[in-house]
């Protein structure tokens, strides 16, 4: 035997079986690698959408992103970035509309940096205004038009695809908040029981939920129907204009100051709190302007008494429970079907209850009230000392706001001690803020299809598994067939 042959036989790498095995293994690895990678793009690419939420108290800019490679934009959208516009809401610029436009520039510049340049021109940009502009439009429609013109001009200077600025109806605000919450929870795609949405703003508040077996025809103006991912939803929604927490505070103060100038001892503010306030500022809103007393010209002393129970009595006076022409009502003669399912309460519901440390869903309603009563009774100077980082305006109002929230939920919407535990106070769901903006964009970009998308015949993992098993079977069959066809394969090579 030659030295070469001897070497070949000693080196197992040179046997035909080993060579075939190695090639086979390489082929299998290559096949499986292709199967794993075949539906994964090399670099994840995104598309973007921008929504400006022009609220009564302030404006916020949201950027959403979603995978670009999915058909018809059906990839999951999520919040990428939020920018809080400095200053007050756009409705506060009624007398200086140009400044409303200018106020948006800083956040818009940020948006330019956040969205990749090559996507700018195809990124839709929307501005939706809520109750602050609704009120301004009622009060002075030419001032509200001027604010919109200025805002439009400012937004069109940016390289995005500007899609318009408008006032949302209360129904839209409620319904899109509900869409956002249920989209982010993946409830719509999976056809699961939905979560109701409770949104509390400064100038209006919304309640939206699906109540099974309720008769929509009882109050058609409160119903919105959707077909999403192949499921039909009959949504009940109502927006109470003037029932945001800032306007309700005006209404409560108007009620307490109706006997004219002087000092009011307000149970919704802490003992020791004292501020000199202007009547003219208090009544500068359509929510209270008709209640302005004749002699209300100058200022009044706003002092605190810190009494939760009495504060609840004051707050209750802003609701009208007397008339209801439907089978059941919440308040002010507004139809409301029976409450059903879990609820997500966001925006000011969350800010207030989070500050008061009352967001724990397991805390019974009676404990919530007790804690709130203790908090309201705490002297103002102690509160200021305990929270040096909180702006005084917010700090002074948490007792009032917490009391309003509890009164609105229980006396207003009829949550009971039991059903109160169905309410979750939330800020975000999976990194995206709860609010109407995402639902608004999803609707306008047709990102939620009416029908369920055709799912692929096999999920990706199943596809990879089948490829791997088939490759292994083929390989084993190949080796076995070689043994039949070529007898030299039947014996394991041996060294002579």
Ligand X SMILES: O=c1[nH]cnc2c1ncn2[C@@H]1O[C@H](COP(=O)(O)OP(=O)(O)O)[C@@H](O)[C@H]1O
* Residues 334-373: x where in contact with ligand X by CB under 6 A, - otherwise, as a string: -------------xx--xx---------------------
Does 203 show up as a binding residue in the annotation?
yes
Binding window for Ca ion (CB under 5 A); candidates: 52-60, 287-295, 425-433, 456-464: 52-60
Binding window for Ca ion (CB under 5 A); candidates: 48-56, 157-165, 354-362, 464-472: 48-56
Nearer to ligand X, 204 or 424 (CB): 204
Nearer to ligand X, 89 or 304 (CB): 89
Strand partners, 301: 263, 276
426, burial (CB in 10 Å: exposed 0-12, middle 13-18, buried 19+): buried
CB of 55 to Ca ion, least distance (A): 4
Nearer to ligand X, 165 or 188 (CB): 165
Q: Determine which one of 173, 382, 389, 418 is catalytic.
A: 173
Write down the residue that tokens 């959707």 correspond to: 226
Does 250 participate in binding ligand X (rule CB under 6 A)?
Answer: no
CB of 447 to ligand X, least distance (A): 23
Q: For residues 288-307, which are near ligand X according to CB under 6 A?
A: none
Does 164 show up as a binding residue in the annotation?
no
Does 89 participate in binding ligand X (rule CB under 6 A)?
Answer: yes
Does 205 show up as a binding residue in the annotation?
yes
Q: Are strands 46-54 and 124-129 parallel, antiparallel or unpaired?
A: parallel
Q: Are strands 223-228 and 78-84 parallel, antiparallel or unpaired?
A: unpaired
Q: Are strands 161-167 and 428-429 parallel, antiparallel or unpaired?
A: unpaired
Binding window for ligand X (CB under 6 A); candidates: 34-42, 49-57, 148-156, 475-483: 49-57
Does 202 participate in binding ligand X (rule CB under 6 A)?
Answer: yes
CB of 140 to ligand X, least distance (A): 17
Nearer to Ca ion, 201 or 439 (CB): 201
Q: Which residue is nearest to ligand X (CB)?
A: 201
| Residue 310 interacting partner from ligand X, Ca ion, none (CB closer than 5 to 8 Å by kind) | none
CB of 49 to Ca ion, least distance (A): 19
| Residue 56 interacting partner from Ca ion, ligand X, none (CB closer than 5 to 8 Å by kind) | ligand X
CB of 413 to ligand X, least distance (A): 17
- C-alpha–C-alpha distance, residues 180 and 183, integer Å: 5
Does 104 participate in binding ligand X (rule CB under 6 A)?
Answer: no
In order, the DSSP letters of 45-77 are: -EEEEEEEEE-SS-EEEEEEEEESSSGGG-SPP
Q: Are strands 262-266 and 223-228 parallel, antiparallel or unpaired?
A: unpaired
Choose which of 49, 52, 54, 55 interacts with Ca ion (CB under 5 A): 55
- How far from each other are the two terminal CA atoms of the chain, in whole angstroms? 9
Q: For residues 110-149, which are near ligand X according to CB under 6 A?
A: 130-132
Phi and psi at residue 121, to the nearest 5°: -65, -25
How many residues form the binding site for Ca ion (CB under 5 A)? 2
Which distant-in-sequence residues (6+ apart) come within 8 Å of 392 by Cβ? 384
- Asked if 176 and 321 count as a contact pair (C-beta separation under 8 A), the reply is no
Q: For residues 187-206, which are near Ca ion according to CB under 5 A?
A: 201
Choose which of 177, 201, 271, 402 interacts with ligand X (CB under 6 A): 201
- C-alpha–C-alpha distance, residues 144 and 167, integer Å: 10
Which of 376, 399, 260, 240 is CA-nearest to residue 319?
240
Which of 244, 240, 224 is CA-nearest to residue 330?
240
Distance of CA 282 to the CA centre of its chain: 31
Does 55 participate in binding ligand X (rule CB under 6 A)?
Answer: yes
- C-alpha–C-alpha distance, residues 373 and 384, integer Å: 17
Does 303 show up as a binding residue in the annotation?
no
Distance of CA 272 to the CA centre of its chain: 38
152 among known catalytic residues: no
467, burial (CB in 10 Å: exposed 0-12, middle 13-18, buried 19+): middle
Write down the residue that tokens 């039949």 correspond to: 484
CB of 389 to ligand X, least distance (A): 11
Nearer to ligand X, 240 or 415 (CB): 240
Nearer to ligand X, 64 or 346 (CB): 346
- C-alpha–C-alpha distance, residues 163 and 167, integer Å: 13
Looking at the annotation, which residues are catalytic? 173
Q: Which residues bind Ca ion (CB under 5 A)?
A: 55, 201
- Return residues touching ligand X (CB under 6 A): 55-58, 89, 130-132, 201-204, 244-246, 347-348, 351-352, 394
């Amino acid at each position: 035997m030659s030295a070469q042959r001897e070497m070949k036989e000693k080196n197992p790498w040179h046997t035909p079986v080993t060579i075939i095995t190695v090639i086979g293994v390489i082929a299998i690895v290559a096949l499986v690698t292709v199967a794993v990678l075949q539906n994964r793009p090399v670099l994840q690419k995104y598309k973007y959408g921008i929504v400006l939420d022009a609220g009564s108290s302030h404006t916020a800019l949201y950027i959403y992103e979603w995978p670009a490679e999915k058909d018809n934009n059906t990839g999951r959208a999520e919040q990428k970035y939020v920018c809080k516009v400095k200053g007050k809401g756009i409705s506060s610029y009624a007398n200086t509309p140009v400044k409303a436009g200018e106020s948006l520039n800083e956040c818009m510049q940020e948006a330019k940096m956040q969205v990749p340049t090559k996507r700018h021109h195809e990124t839709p940009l929307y501005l939706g205004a809520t109750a602050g502009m609704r009120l301004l439009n009622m009060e002075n429609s030419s001032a509200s038009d001027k604010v919109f013109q200025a805002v439009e001009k400012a937004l069109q200077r940016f390289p995005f695809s500007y899609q318009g600025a408008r006032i949302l109806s209360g129904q839209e605000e409620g319904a899109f908040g509900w869409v956002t919450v249920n989209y982010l929870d993946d409830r719509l795609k999976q056809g699961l029981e939905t979560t109701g949405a409770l949104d509390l703003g400064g100038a209006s508040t919304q309640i939206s939920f699906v109540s099974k077996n309720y008769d929509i025809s009882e109050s058609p103006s409160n119903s919105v129907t959707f077909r999403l991912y192949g499921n039909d939803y009959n949504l009940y929604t109502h927006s109470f204009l003037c029932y945001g927490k800032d306007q309700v505070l005006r209404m409560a103060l108007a009620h307490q100051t109706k006997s004219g100038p002087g000092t009011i001892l307000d149970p919704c503010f802490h003992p020791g709190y004292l501020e000199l306030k202007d009547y003219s500022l208090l009544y500068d809103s359509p929510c209270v302007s008709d209640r302005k007393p004749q002699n209300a010209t100058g200022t009044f002393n706003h002092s605190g008494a810190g009494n939760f129970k009495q504060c609840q009595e004051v707050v209750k006076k802003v609701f009208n429970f007397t008339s209801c022409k439907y089978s059941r009502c919440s308040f002010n003669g507004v139809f409301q079907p029976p409450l059903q399912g879990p609820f997500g309460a966001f925006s000011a519901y969350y800010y207030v209850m989070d500050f008061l440390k009352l967001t724990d869903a397991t805390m019974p309603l009676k404990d919530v009230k007790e804690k709130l009563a203790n908090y309201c009774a705490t002297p103002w100077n102690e509160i200021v000392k305990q929270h040096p980082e909180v702006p005084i305006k917010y700090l002074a109002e948490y007792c009032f706001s917490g009391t309003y929230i509890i009164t609105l939920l229980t006396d207003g919407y009829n949550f009971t001690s039991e059903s109160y535990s169905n309410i979750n106070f939330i800020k975000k769901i999976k990194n995206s803020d709860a609010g109407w903006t995402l639902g608004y964009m999803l609707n306008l970009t047709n990102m939620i299809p009416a029908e369920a998308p055709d799912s692929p015949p096999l999920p990706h993992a199943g596809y990879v598994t089948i490829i791997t098993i088939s490759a292994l079977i083929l390989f084993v069959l190949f080796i076995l067939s070689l043994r039949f066809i070529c007898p030299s394969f039947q014996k394991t090579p041996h060294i002579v």
